[in-house]
Structure 1
Amino acid sequence: MDKNTRKNAFGKWIAPINFKKLCEQVTIHQQDTYTKKLTTEAYLKLMLYAQVHETEGLQALSDALLDADFQKASGIESISASQLSRKNNEINPSILATLFLDLVYQIKSYENKAMKGLPLKIIDSSTLPLNLTRYKWAKFRKTKAGVKLHLRLVFMNQDTVYPEKAAITPAKEHDRNQLEILVDDKEAMYVFDRGYMDYERFDRMTDDGYFFVSRLKKNSVTRKVYAFSVPSNSNVLSDQMVYIGSTQKRCENVFRLLEVTDTKGNQLRLITNRFDLESEEISNIYRSRWSIELFFKWLKQHVKIKHFFGMSETALQNQIYLALITYCLHVLIQLETQSEKKLLRIVRWLKAAIWKPAYLWLRRFEKKTVP
């Protein structure tokens, strides 16, 4: 009997989670010392179910335990919304962050098969707005509150991306302050928008051997050193070696400045420290930055990340990490089955077959051969 035959789809989906490592983290942080019923492992399974089904709230999650299959999977017959709320506020976010990074490590094992050249890593952030009355600790404007999810996304191919590193800060935190935290691998090509513009940091990245491509602000001063030829019938309008900045404040290194047109006909100025690539390659690399916008949009539409189950900073961070864990589990099943199906289709099939034998769910991923 195949091992997947004995599992239901939910069990197969959460199988990549290292529950041994979870147990170690729980012991280190003394998380379940006085727990009798709702253990951290049970909490994790309940919350992942809530992520997949985009459960409205903790009371709805409590009610979902009327399902006998859900009781068996979680190891709990019933739990109150108040108990779930307390656990959500007690769990140390570093435990879920560790599980998230472990899943990222597993995804990386597929990189060599899917990627060529330097890994493409896209950096950006997304602000999650909050109600100021309920989240006073997250105030960043007079009438608004919010947190910011800073993310490094790895671009494997057009159909597969995954979050590799995350930082959660108050919304008032400037993106530039997180750049050095998110840039830590010299064997990669980084892509980020003009919100990260910083001449001094560009010099430091170049001196330290980090490669990047970014968008230059319209009012940035440049001085041409040399003009490269550009291919005809291309979206590249010009390709130059330049100094960036005025005489009072400028970069010490020379950079490559490309003027290109996007798909809507708008002109963009791209800056990079890569001189070994064709101009069209640089343009295409920057165009891939759009995938992180689509990633944030996917998160907000298909996992529970816009409406939070708790009001504390701890509860909010836990829910964000649970959303990232959920996404990574989707990517892992996509990679394991070598499926060409979109993640949304995979999620829909998981919802429909969640308590059915795993093989019935996995059968959907098989490529249909034409006789």
Structure 2
Amino acid sequence: MAHISIPKHKIQSLTFDKFKFPLVKLLTLAPELHSRGDRPLKMTFEDQLNALVYFHLQEHKSARHLIQDLDENEFAKQNIAPDGGISRSSFSEIINGRGLEQLQFIFENLYNQAVGVLPKAHAELGDLVSIDGSLIDAVLSMHWADYRKNSKKAKAHCGFDINHGIPNKIFLTEGNGGERPFVSRILSKGQTGVMDRGYQSHKDFDLLQEESKHFVCRIKARTTRTIVKQNAIKPDSHVFYDAATLLGTPNQNQTKNPVRVVGYEISGVKYYVATDRHDLTAEQVASVYKLRWTIENFFKWWKEHLKVYHLIARSEYGLMVQILGGLITYLLMAIYCQEQFNEKVSIKRVRQLRTTILNELMNGQNLDRGNSNGNNIVKDQKNLKQAKT
């Protein structure tokens, strides 16, 4: 009797497929990644993106850890790694040398998808973007990442969409890179940049107004203010100052256009905030500045729970590739949490996602199940296939 070989089922996770679903259509629209020689690509852009998302989602601690998983974990071998696997040296060459244009396309378009899914908070305050920089520890061999003697760091300059709770812009420089030049590049017309006092620049305040971009920026208490118009203060308010002023010293660094300054006190600390938003009450201006902390919370969460700064790249190009991979993973998580649980991103849901994927793989979930769950899998797999066409 002839031996009949029964083909092995591909190990799949319905939850992981759902998590990645927003990428399906975008992958067909992304700029094509071409091989630099005559040989076909060892690792396609889809393979590269899958590996980056898998790296951040599963908390790998190094490129070595990731490559080992791609080689030994059956699910990773079948669903993440390119056909035939990938060596650590080849992976390093790929991460440090290609895919940046495609990742930027995915990030920008995935952000637009997320905006259409996520609820909008603070709509009455306008389109708010918190702006800040975050230092990334580098190694001494990363010569481009100048910071201090015997210390290398890079700096990510990020815009964070406060209303939707997601990042929307990212730039990368050496650790000593100036932050102010990126404000105008991060903001679009009509948006309000929310910034700490390190971004105080009277020249930039004028420039932003000329570009129809708005700002709410904390300023130093000792900043010279020439009052143009004093605004009334509500009784019993935490606001003690509200005036249209010319900031700075005349004939030196004074603003050309009047800037509104709101002063308020919280827990014994006095804040002075400059803005061109005259449509808001003084109390609303104070509330907008308080929302700046959303970007600080994002940086903390992003570093701690997605392990985005466990370096798998050394070049500036490669580090940007890694960072975009982390941001894309965060956007996918934001969409997934909203659609599945009607919630914001939380470490609880990240851990639950990882556990669910692991349980599905351990249980050998596949398309041959004849129960209703199996029918749901078939339906979802058909949706994934249709999305690609």
Matching residue of 2:196: 193
Matching residue of 2:155: 148
Amino acid at match of 1:185: K
SS class of match (1:109): helix
Matches within 5 A, 1:205-216: 205-216=208-219
Provide the rounded CA distance (Å) in 2 between the counterparts of 1:33 and 1:327: 36
Give the deviation of 1:32 after TM superposition.
8.6
Provide the rounded CA distance (Å) in 2 between the counterparts of 1:146 and 1:238: 40
Pair 1:53 & 2:61 matched: no
Provide the rounded CA distance (Å) in 1 between the counterparts of 2:122 and 2:260: 25
Provide the rounded CA distance (Å) in 1 between the counterparts of 2:208 and 2:344: 38
Give the deviation of 1:215 after TM superposition.
0.7
**Cα contact 2:189–2:211 (8 A) shared by 1:** no
Provide the rounded CA distance (Å) in 1 between the counterparts of 2:245 and 2:310: 46
**Cα contact 1:190–1:211 (8 A) shared by 2:** yes
Matching residue of 1:100: 107
Matching residue of 2:185: 181
Pair 1:71 & 2:77 matched: yes
**Cα contact 1:32–1:40 (8 A) shared by 2:** no
Matching residue of 1:369: none
Provide the rounded CA distance (Å) in 2 between the counterparts of 1:313 and 1:190: 26
SS class of match (2:123): coil
Q: 1:20 to 1:198 in 2, by over 3 A?
A: same
**Cα contact 1:191–1:212 (8 A) shared by 2:** yes
SS class of match (1:126): strand
Q: 1:79 to 1:207 in 2, by over 3 A?
A: closer
SS class of match (1:25): coil
Unpaired runs of at least 5, structure 2: 1-11, 367-372, 377-389
Pair 1:268 & 2:275 matched: no
SS class of match (2:154): strand
Give the deviation of 1:76 after TM superposition.
4.1
Amino acid at match of 1:129: D
Provide the rounded CA distance (Å) in 1 between the counterparts of 2:120 and 2:198: 33
Provide the rounded CA distance (Å) in 2 between the counterparts of 1:33 and 1:248: 63
Amino acid at match of 1:217: K
Matching residue of 2:49: 44
Q: 1:333 to 1:137 in 2, by over 3 A?
A: same
Matches within 5 A, 1:1-371: 8-17=14-23, 18-22=26-30, 24-27=31-34, 30=35, 34-35=39-40, 37-65=42-70, 66-74=72-80, 76=83, 78-110=85-117, 116-117=123-124, 118-131=126-139, 133-156=140-163, 160-186=164-190, 188-249=191-252, 250-262=254-266, 264-337=267-340, 339-340=342-343, 342-355=345-358, 356=360
Higher mean alpha-carbon deviation, 300-309 vs 103-112, is at 103-112
Q: 1:185 to 1:7 in 2, by over 3 A?
A: farther
Provide the rounded CA distance (Å) in 2 between the counterparts of 1:33 and 1:13: 35
**Cα contact 2:200–2:219 (8 A) shared by 1:** yes
Matching residue of 1:365: none
Give the deviation of 1:213 after TM superposition.
0.9
- Size of the aligned set, in residue pairs, is 347
Q: State which structure, 1 or 2, has the greater radius of gyration over its C-alpha atoms.
A: 2
Q: TM-score, normalised by structure 2?
A: 0.82
